[in-house]
Amino acid sequence: MKIISMFFLLAISAGCVAWPPQLGVANNMGEAITKIVYRYDDSSVPPKYHRSYKIEANDNKIRIVVDSYGQILAQEELPITATQFSELVVYLNEKRIHNTKNTESMGCTGGTGENIGFFAGEKVVFKGSVYHCGGKDYGNMAGDIEGFAKKIKSFIPQLEKLRHAEYIIES
């Protein structure tokens, strides 16, 4: 009976822990988040149509680089405030971005991918990825990734114009 009672007490107390750990402007270990990186990997289409991009943000700027299989098509850097950066850090927590058990795509091809990482100086605090394919999500990251992506992209007013940058065949 004592074992069962201990089990229930442990289960109840585990349910009281915030998931994922609260980030705020600093994570729960007291390390201030200094950089957030979001990457969108487009599906496998011909280079003329392929558009992947990486957005990096810190407390004073946000930068986007659009590429087609590594060939840079467009880039822009914009100022942001420390308050705006803090909003992004808080949003990571609100959207419950967290690592989960990795799931393999089992041969699904043609999907898109998203990666999120955040850092305290050079130290990786979090890194995760998800691959959307065949109506399912694979990878090691969960939460409202779409909501977070929408938030970080909202700081780049020219995003759609940049995403449609002309692909020039190099000779």
Which uninterrupted H or E stretch holds 4?
helix 2-15
Please give the structure tokens belonging to residue 109.
Answer: 């091809």
In this prediction the pTM is 0.81
**Cβ neighbours around 156 below 10 Å, total:** 21
Cα(145)–Cα(160) distance, integer angstroms: 19
Cα(97)–Cα(95) distance, integer angstroms: 6
Is residue 6 scored above 70 in pLDDT? Answer: no
CB 118 within 8 A of CB 106: no
Tens digits of residue pLDDT in 45-101: 999 999 999 999 999 999 999 999 999 999 999 999 999 999 999 988 888 899 999
Q: What is the pLDDT of residue 102?
A: 96
Please give the structure tokens belonging to residue 70.
Answer: 């590594």
The domain ranges of the chain are 21-163
CB 66 within 8 A of CB 53: yes
Cα(163)–Cα(60) distance, integer angstroms: 23
